[in-house]
Amino acid sequence: MKTSTLLLLLICYSSSLISQNLAIKNATIIPMDQEQVLENQTLIITDGIITKIGNSDDVVISSDIKIIEAKGRFLMPGIADMHVHLRNEDELVNYLAYGVTTVMHLGGSSNQGKENLRYNNEIDKGTLIGPNIYTTKRILDGDPPASGGAYRIKTPERAIELVNNLKNEGYDFIKIYNNIPLTAFNAIVKESERVGLPLLGHLPRKYDALHAINNGQDMIVHTEELFFTYFKGPRSTSTYDKEFQLDVSLIPDLITSIKKNNVAIIPNLSFAFTDFIMWDDVDVLFADSEIKYVAPNLIRNEFISGNINRRSNIENFIHRDQQKYELSLDLTYKFQKAGILQLLGTDATQAGLFPGKSVHRELTELVKAGLTNYEVLSIATKNAGQFAEAHNLRDSNFGQIKLGFIADMILLEKNPLDDIRNTKRIDGVITNGKWISMEEIDGLRSKIAAKYAALKNIELLLKESLLDNTTEAKMKQLITDNHDNEALLTSIESNINSLGYNYVSNNELVKAIAIFKLNTKYFENSGNVWDSYAEAHLLNNDRVNAIKYYTKALEVNPELSSAKEQLKKLKKE
């Protein structure tokens, strides 16, 4: 196993990773069990669990407990972002920087799903800092899928097999997507209930939305899904009718069905609002102070390639987005008043949605919808714990400050019940009972920013090398100089590969082959880089070199399944 990127950065902070017994002294506590503020309180944390809360004059603190003086500051539960897509380990610190102590990863690559299990294991052991992660692996969709990274399902039998695989591999829930067939959906509901995994996702778009709501889906991960399904809003922007009117008379029946079936909802208002920002002036996105903490390959593959200005019929898209947004604001308010469980989710790291920072845009969006600050904080904290408890997720005792709960909290300079924006005024974070000051977090983030700045310079060198072969010597020297920094070398290899695939996606195969070739020179002992080099040749209809380099990939890494499969196919042809 490669050394953890953050682990290398965290050596000087190792003492803060060890399980601590803490006392938070003289705090004003916002417990989130009800709308109240408890002044002059001292809280004791033992082995990551809240074991005592009381008036500071009455609580005795033993001499072996570390004390955090919190006079004049406000202690609230950590924020839960229940709709994210993790891309790399560095994002874990970015979430903590904004007070997020729980995240729910709603799918991506198989490799990222496996990495999330590793992150959780290391966080539990105290060798890594980060939020608690609820995770799935890949999402379940139909064939063809609406999402390219999904499992393709045609039959109920395949659906049942995948549910059991995800359960046996240690994942926390099932996520479904737009094109899931009706028979597969019904099989997933039955099997996920049997094995004890909640069912989350988009609403299926091939049949009546109320079928999913009435027959076992536990969470809808975007309120906007109702626009496309229940309200039958236009799905195509090329044939979009600007005269389309929503039938709001359908709302009461919708609320009845959702409440009756205890379906949770993620409003995800920040997703649409960020679209408006990017349409108005996409440069604002790249001028954001948070951009320096975003991995270069993520900026390239999501923020640049994935922002809405790449869409056709952009004006129709924005007009439709406005309708969806206004409907979502209205439904968020009405769902809240009806007592429907709503959770905070941002969909980070989609374009413009920064890990951690985006939760604070979501909080202000919820206020715009007409919710009180207490209702908004409930959505951001205790509601997630209630959902986790209702669906038997592990470590579900979070989201409130009360005895026996996990010590996931943030210490604020000002009261968020007075102004929701005060949730950004963070002095420190307590995650799994470990105190991490903002000074420590800022120190870690400065190292992440420095690493990404170096990677961006490497990308410039790589692009230059396509025109000037003398750059190759500079790159080799850089790698030689950092031969003992495995984390940086891993990032360099990954980013070179990502740049190559960016050229592949733009159908610039000659440039892609040149980039992958450079990677084989710098990292000749990596089977993955030879596999990518072979794939580019195959896409360029060069079967001879594809076979040659897939063979090389297997020489370097005999267990590389992708190379095995491709070589087997090529030799049969």
Residues 6+ apart with CB under 8 A from 342: 264, 265, 266, 267, 332, 335, 336, 379, 383
Give the pLDDT band (50/70/90) at residue 328: very high
Quote the pLDDT of residue 499. 80
Give the pLDDT band (50/70/90) at residue 3: very low
Query: Is 418 a domain residue?
Result: no
Helices (H), 466-542: 471-481, 486-505, 509-522, 527-539
Shared-domain flag, residues 209 and 316: yes
Give the pLDDT band (50/70/90) at residue 573: low
Q: Which residues pair with 151 in a beta bridge?
A: 140
Q: What is the mean pLDDT of residues 304-330?
A: 92
Quote the pLDDT of residue 472. 66
Residue 274 has pLDDT above 80, yes or no: yes
Comparing 378 with 11, which gets the higher pLDDT? 378
Number of structural domains, the chain? Answer: 2
Mean pLDDT of the chain: 91
Residues 6+ apart with CB under 8 A from 208: none
Query: Is 18 a domain residue?
Result: no
Quote the pLDDT of residue 41. 98
Query: Is 31 a domain residue?
Result: no
Residue 7 has pLDDT above 70, yes or no: no
For 488, the domain range is: 442-572
Question: Crossing angle of helices 527-539/561-572, nearest 10°?
Answer: 40
Query: Is 48 a domain residue?
Result: no
Query: Is 436 a domain residue?
Result: no
Pick the last residue of a domain from 345, 365, 399.
399
Quote the pLDDT of residue 563. 86
Indicate the residue type of 67: I
Quote the pLDDT of residue 482. 73
Give the CATH number, domain containing residue 542.
Answer: 1.25.40.10
Q: What is the mean pLDDT of residues 125-137?
A: 95
Shared-domain flag, residues 168 and 245: yes
Query: Is 250 a domain residue?
Result: yes
Shared-domain flag, residues 390 and 449: no
Shared-domain flag, residues 346 and 481: no
Shared-domain flag, residues 304 and 449: no
Query: Where is average pLDDT lowest: 79-88, 274-283, 459-468?
Result: 459-468
Residue 495 has pLDDT above 90, yes or no: no
Shared-domain flag, residues 155 and 262: yes
Residue 115 host element (H or E): helix 110-125
Pick the last residue of a domain from 338, 364, 399.
399
| Percent of the chain residues past pLDDT 70, beyond the cut | 94
Most confident segment among 136-145, 450-459, 512-521: 136-145
Task: Strand 174-176: give its sheet, edge to edge.
Answer: 151-152, 140-141, 174-176, 199-201, 219-220, 264-265
What CA–CA distance (Å, rounded) separates 27 from 10? Answer: 28
Q: Which residues pair with 23 in a beta bridge?
A: 44, 67
**Which residue's entry shows tokens 């679209």?**
275
Q: Convert the pLDDT of each residue in 28-81 to its tens digit.
A: 999 999 999 999 999 999 999 999 999 999 999 999 999 999 999 999 999 999
Query: Where is average pLDDT lowest: 92-106, 391-405, 467-481?
Result: 467-481
What CA–CA distance (Å, rounded) separates 9 from 434? Answer: 17
Give the pLDDT band (50/70/90) at residue 2: very low
Quote the pLDDT of residue 464. 65
Comparing 19 with 155, which gets the higher pLDDT? 155
Shared-domain flag, residues 479 and 393: no
Q: What SS3 state is found at 261?
A: coil
What CA–CA distance (Å, rounded) separates 357 from 430? Answer: 18
Query: Is 109 a domain residue?
Result: yes
Shared-domain flag, residues 337 and 484: no
Comparing 365 with 302, which gets the higher pLDDT? 365
Indicate the residue type of 210: L
pTM confidence score: 0.85
Shared-domain flag, residues 366 and 496: no
Shared-domain flag, residues 179 and 248: yes
Give the CATH number, domain containing residue 277.
Answer: 3.20.20.140
Shared-domain flag, residues 201 and 346: yes
Quote the pLDDT of residue 455. 80
State the DSSP string of 20-79.
--EEEEEEEE--SSSS--EEEEEEEEETTEEEEEEETTT----TTSEEEE-TT-EEEEPE
Query: Is 520 a domain residue?
Result: yes
**Which residue's entry shows tokens 């591999």?**
169
A 10 A CB-CB count for 539 gives 14
Give the pLDDT band (50/70/90) at residue 478: confident
Pick the last residue of a domain from 365, 399, 433.
399
Shared-domain flag, residues 333 and 452: no
